[in-house]
Amino acid sequence: MPDSLQSLFEANSIAIVGVSDDPTKIGSVIFSNLRQEHFAGAIYPINPKYSTIFGHPSYPSLLEISTEIDVVCIAVPQPVVEQVIDDCIAKKVKNVVIITAGFAEVGNAGKELEERIAQKLKNADIRLLGPNCLGFIATHNNCNLSFAASTPKKGNIAFLSQSGAFCTALLDMAIPKNMGFSHLISIGNKADIAENELLRHLAQNPKVSVLGAYLEEIEDGRELLATYQNLAVKKPFILFKPGKSNEAQKAISSHTGSIAGSYQTFKTAVSQAGIILAPTIRATLSLLMAFSWLPLPKGDRIAIITNAGGPGIIATDTIIESGLHLASFTDVTKEQLKNSLPPTSSLHNPIDILGDALADRYQIALRAVTADENVDAVLLIVTPQLMTQIEDTAKLVVNTAKLVKKPIIPIFIGGKYVKNGLQRFFDNEIPAFVEISDAIETLKQLVMYSTNTPKLSPAIATKSTLASRLSAVTTSVPTVLSNSLTEELMNEFDIRLPPQKLVSSIDEALSFAQQYGTAVLKAPNEVITHKTDVKGLYLNLQNQDDITQAFNELQQNIAKATGKHPQSLLIQQQMKYKEELFIGANRDGDANVYNGSGKGFGHLLVFGKGGIYTEIYKDHGMVIVPANRQDFLSALASTKVVQILTGARGQKPLAVDQFITTLERLQQMLLSYPLISSFDINPLAITEKEVFALDVKIFCNH
Ligand code: COA
C-alpha cells in the first residue's frame, strides 16, 4: 500500500479555515503556531470576512486559491464543517484535519455527520485526521498545525494520542525536560486515520526512534499486534491505555464515542507482542525519555554506586524484585576500587562511597564499573549532604555518559539541593530520577526490550472437520455444545478424556462401572450448564447401591431444575491424579477475528491452579492466541502452581510437557474453530505422566 500520509506530515502548503481577527480563537492560534515555527511552505488563512489577517493575505474560500493544497485544517463551528468539506473535495486537496468537536463523541446525530463526511472524503481520495482533535506537530517540517501552547524541540519521539489534552499535558512536562519529538499527533475520533496506519508510517521514518501512544480504544487489536511485529525496523513502542475499570470504560464512551476492550486481554496481547505498557503518565514520560536518549543495555547485570547506605539497600531490593540482577564485579574492578576508595567504603555491589563523597569518588567508581565486562548498566545514586558536589557530580556523569555505550542512570534523591543537577542531566539528554523505583522500572523495560525478541508465532495448520456441525448449532448468543460434540472436538485435537458414556438407564450405568470401576455421574452440559446451580455431580460411586441412588437423585435434581426428565446422564471413570489445573479461553471480538474481516485481539487462553477454588487462588498464566511454546512456558512460569508441577518439596515433577502440549492443541482448536467464544476445562487432571480433561464446557457464538 503506498504511504499516503507523507503529504500530511511533510506538507508544502496548508490552508486554515476559520482564522479570525480575534487572536484567542482556535483557528487564529493554529495560524500563529504555524507561522511562529517558520513553516517554510505556503500558508493560506481562510475567512470570507478579511482580505488580510495579521498582515497576511487572507482568502474568502478554498476555491479562490489557485495553487495545490496539501492540508486543510478546519476550525469552524460544527454546522459549517460539511460545507468546507465540499469545498475541499471541489479543490481536490490531499488531506483534511478537522479540529472541530461535536461529532461521534456527542451522540448519534454527530456520528452520522462524521460518517457522512468521512465517506465523502474517502470517495474523493482525501485523507482525514480527526475530527475532534488538537491537530499535529511535525517538528522536522517546522509544522505546528495545532493549538498546543508550545512546540517541542526536534527529536526522535513520535507520539500519537486519542486525547488532545494528553498531548498538551505531555508536552508541558516534556519541554522543560528538554525532550525532543519528531511528531505529536492528535487522532481525535479517528474517522479515517487511526493508530495502525500511523505506526507503520512513523516507524519507517529514520528520524523516529521511539514510538509512543495514548490510546483509549484500540481500533483493531490483531492488526495492531501484526503491525508492530511486522515493522521493517524494530523500534520501541510505549503505550499508555486507560480504561481498566468499568467506570473508566463508561467515561471513555462519552469522551470519544468508542468502546474499550477488555483490559486483561489487551494487556496480555500487547505485552506478548513486545509493546511496552506504561502504567502511568509519569512512566510514559520516563520511558519515552529513556528510550529516546539512552543506549540499550546488553543484559540485566546492574551496578549501583551510592553515597548513602539506605538508598543502596532500597535499590538492591527493587532490582531483585524487578527480576534484574546485581552485577558481580571482575577482580580488576575490585582491585581498582580497593586501591582508590577509602578503606571503609563498601566495594561490593552496591558500591558505597560514603556520605562525604565528593565528585572524585564517583568518578573512580563510575570509571571502574563502566569498564567492567560484567556490568550492563549503572545506577548512580546521590543524596545531598552539606559537602556533596551536586553539579560537579552531574557534570562528570554527563562526560562519562558521552564516552560509554552502557546506560548510566542518575538518581538524585532530594528536592531543592539536587534540582540543578537533575536539570543538567536533562539539558544533556540523560534521563535522571528522584525516585529509585521509577529509575529501576524504566531500566527494566530497557533491558526487556533489548534482550527479548518477540517473534511472530508460526501459523498453525488447522483442522476443521467439524466446522459445519459447529456452525449448525451456533447462534449469536453463546450456546453450550453438547457432550457428544465436545467429545468429538477433544478427540480431534488429541485431548484425553476419561472413559465416559451417555447412559439412559441404571443398567447401562452399572455395566459401565463394571468395566471401569469407581464412577462419576454428571448432568450432561446441554442439560445443566452450571452444575453448581443444582447438584449435578456425584463422585466416588463404588458399588451398585451408590450408582442406583446417584442415578435416581440426579434425574430428580435435573427434572426439578429444568422441568424435564433427562434422557441421559454422563457416566465417567473416576480418575486418580496428583493435581487439578484448569484451562479456559475467552474470545475478544467476533468469530471473524482471525480472518481479517473481524476486529479484536482473538482468544485469551488462561490457565493455572484448578478445582473448586480456582476463583479464590486466582493463580493464572495468560497468553493471547497464537502463542508459541516459549510464550506458554513464560506464562506458566508466572504462576504459583508451576512450583508444584515442577516438583515442590521433594515431590516428583508432573507432566509439564504434556500440559504445554495440551495448551498448544487447545490453541489449535480455537484457531480452527473461531466460533468457539469460550471454553472451560476444570478440572484438568495431571499426573506424573499424563494430562486429562475431566470436565469440559465449550460455548460458541458468531
Ligand atoms: N469559512 C471560513 N471561516 C469561517 C466560516 C467559513 N465557512 N464560517 C465561519 N468562519 C469564521 C468565523 O466567522 C470566525 O471568524 P471571526 O471571529 O472573524 O468571525 C471563525 O471562523 C471561527 O468561528 P467561530 O464561530 O468564532 O467559532 P470558534 O472559533 O469560537 O469555534 C471551533 C470554532 C472549531 C473551535 C469550535 O466549534 C470547536 O469545535 N471547539 C472545540 C475544539 C476541540 O476541543 N477540539 C478537540 C481538541 S482535542
Whether ligand 1 lies within 6 angstroms of the CB of 47 is answered as yes
CB-based contacts of 204: which residues, under 8 Å, 6+ apart?
Answer: 3, 231, 232, 233
CA distance 544 to 600: 52
CA proximity to 348, closest of 381, 326, 364, 370: 326
Residue carrying C-alpha cell 556523569? 397
> What is the distance in A from the centroid of ligand 1 to the CA of 552?
77
pLDDT, tens digit, for every residue of 397-429? 999 999 999 999 999 999 999 999 999 999 999
Give residue 616's pLDDT band: very low, low, confident or very high (50, 70, 90).
confident
Atom of ligand 1 nearest to the CA of 46: 2
Which residue CA neighbors atom 39 of ligand 1 most closely? 100
- For residue 133 and ligand 1, the question of a CB distance below 6 A is answered with yes
- Strand, helix or coil for residue 456: coil
Q: 10 Å Cβ neighbour count for 539?
A: 13
Dist CA 519 CA 271 (whole Å): 44
Cell numbers at 202, concatenated: 512513523
Indicate whether 100 pLDDT > 90: yes
The answer for residues whose C-beta is within 8 angstroms of residue 134's C-beta and 6 or more apart is 99, 146, 147, 148, 164, 165, 167, 168, 186, 188
Q: Are 216 and 252 in contact (CB under 8 A)?
A: yes
Res. 267: pLDDT tops 50: yes
For a substitution probing ligand 1, which of 20, 24, 103 has the most ligand atoms within 8 Å of its CB?
A: 20
Query: What is the SS3 assignment for 379?
Result: strand
Interatomic CA distance for residues 146 and 701, integer angstroms: 45
Which residue of 53, 76, 117 sits with most ligand 1 atoms within 8 Å of its CB, as the best mutation to test the pocket? 76
**Does residue 27's CB lie within 6 angstroms of at least one atom of ligand 1?**
yes
Mean pLDDT calculated for residue range 374-390? 96
For residue 129 and ligand 1, the question of a CB distance below 6 A is answered with no
Task: Return the ligand 1 atom nearest residue 130 CA.
Answer: 46
How confident is the model at residue 4, as a pLDDT?
77
Which three cell numbers mark 303? 551496578
Strands 95-98 and 127-129, sheet pairing: parallel
Q: Which of 84-93, 119-128, 243-252, 551-560 has the lowest mean pLDDT?
A: 243-252
Beta bridge partners of 696: 681
- When pLDDT is averaged across residues 603-609 and rounded to a whole number, the result is 91
CA of 332 to the centre of ligand 1 (A): 69
Could you report the per-residue pLDDT of 40-50, keeping only the tens digit for each? Answer: 999 999 999 99
Q: Which helix (H) or strand (E) holds 678?
A: strand 676-686
- C-alpha cell at position 447: 533491558
| Residue 205 cell numbers, joined | 521514518
Contacts of 101 (CB under 8 A, 6+ apart): 78, 131, 132
Separation between Cα atoms, residue 432 and residue 290, nearest integer Å? 9
Length of the chain: 702
Q: How far is CA 412 from CA 90, 231, 327, 408, 428, in A?
A: 59, 37, 21, 13, 15
Work out which ligand 1 atom sits closest to the CA atom of 20: 18
Percentage of the chain lying above the pLDDT 90 cut: 80
The mean pLDDT value for 84-103 works out to 98
pLDDT for residue 261:
38
| pLDDT over 50 at 258, yes or no | no
CB 370 near ligand 1, within 6 Å: no
Q: Is 84's C-beta closer than 6 angstroms to any atom of ligand 1?
A: yes
Statement: residue 59 has pLDDT above 70: yes
> Which residue is closest in CA terms to ligand 1's atom 38?
100
- From residue 515, alpha-carbon distances to 105, 361, 509, 571 in Å are 65, 81, 10, 12
**pLDDT at residue 603 tops 60:** yes
77 lines ligand 1 (CB under 6 A): yes
> What is the 45 CA–ligand 1 centroid distance (Å)?
13
Give, for ligand 1, the residue of 17, 21, 26 to mutate: max count of ligand atoms closer than 8 Å to Cβ.
Answer: 26
Q: What is the mean pLDDT of residues 546-565?
A: 93
Give residue 77's pLDDT band: very low, low, confident or very high (50, 70, 90): very high
| Cβ–ligand 1 contact at 22 (below 6 Å) | yes
pLDDT of residue 177: 97
Per-residue DSSP letter, 63: G
Q: Give residue-wise pLDDT tens across range 173-197.
A: 999 999 999 999 999 999 999 999 9
The residue-averaged pLDDT of 359-374 equals: 97
Query: Which pLDDT belongs to residue 369?
Result: 97
- State the virtual CA torsion across 150, 446, 375, 438 in degrees, nearest 10: 60
- Nearest residue (CA) to ligand 1, atom 12: 18
Distance 41 CA to ligand 1 centre (A): 23
80 lines ligand 1 (CB under 6 A): yes
Dihedral class, residue 123 (left if φ above 0, else alpha if ψ from -120 to 50, else beta): alpha
User: Is 21 close to ligand 1, i.e. is its CB under 6 Å away?
Assistant: yes
H runs (alpha helix) in 436-526: 436-451, 467-473, 483-492, 506-516
CB of 79 within 6 A of ligand 1: the answer is no
> Rounded to two decimals, what is the model's pTM?
0.90
**What local confidence, expressed as pLDDT, does residue 61 receive?**
97
Q: Which atom of ligand 1 is nearest to the CA of 21?
A: 18
Please say if the pLDDT value at position 235 is more than 70.
yes
Rounded Cα–Cα distance for residues 285 and 293 (Å): 12
The predicted pLDDT at position 470 comes to 86
> Is 18 a pocket residue for ligand 1 (Cβ < 6 Å)?
yes
Where b means 16+ CB within 10 Å and e means fewer, 86-109 reads: ebbbebebbbbbbbbbbbbbbeee
Inter-helix orientation angle 281-293/164-174, to 10° = 60
Establish whether residue 75 lines the binding site of ligand 1, counting it when its CB lies within 6 angstroms of any ligand atom: yes
For residue 396, the CA-to-ligand 1 centroid distance in Å is 52
Residue 335: pLDDT over 70: yes
- Where is average pLDDT lowest: 51-65, 255-269, 585-599? 255-269
**Which range, of 202-216, 356-370, 544-558, 643-657, averages the lowest pLDDT?**
643-657
- Helix axis angle for 309-322 and 436-451, nearest 10°, is 40
Tell me the pLDDT of the chain averaged across its residues. 92
Cβ atoms of residues 287 and 213 within 8 Å: no
Nearest CA to ligand 1 atom 37: 77
Among 453, 467, 454, 466, smallest CA distance to 595 is for 467
Q: What is the pLDDT of residues 147-162, one digit of tens each?
A: 999 999 999 999 999 9
Distances (CA, A) of 647 to 244, 577, 688: 36, 15, 10
When pLDDT is cut at 50, 70 and 90, the band that residue 457 belongs to is low
Residue with cell 468539506: 85
Please tell me the residue having the least CA distance from ligand 1 atom 20.
18
Do residues 261 and 217 lie in contact, with contact meaning Cβ atoms separated by under 8 Å?
yes
The b/e string for 613-630 (b: 16+ C-beta within 10 A; e otherwise) is: ebeeeebbbbbbbbbbee
The per-residue pLDDT for 252 is: 43
432 phi and psi angles, rounded to 5 deg: -130, 155
Alpha helices in 205-350 (DSSP H): 221-229, 246-256, 263-272, 281-293, 309-322, 331-340
- Express each pLDDT in 580-591 by its tens digit: 999 999 888 889
CA of 42 to the centre of ligand 1 (A): 22
Atom 29 of ligand 1 has which residue's CA nearest to it? 25
Coil vs helix vs strand at 248:
helix
For ligand 1, is residue 380 a contact (CB within 6 Å)?
no
Phi, psi of 214 (to 5 degrees): -115, 115
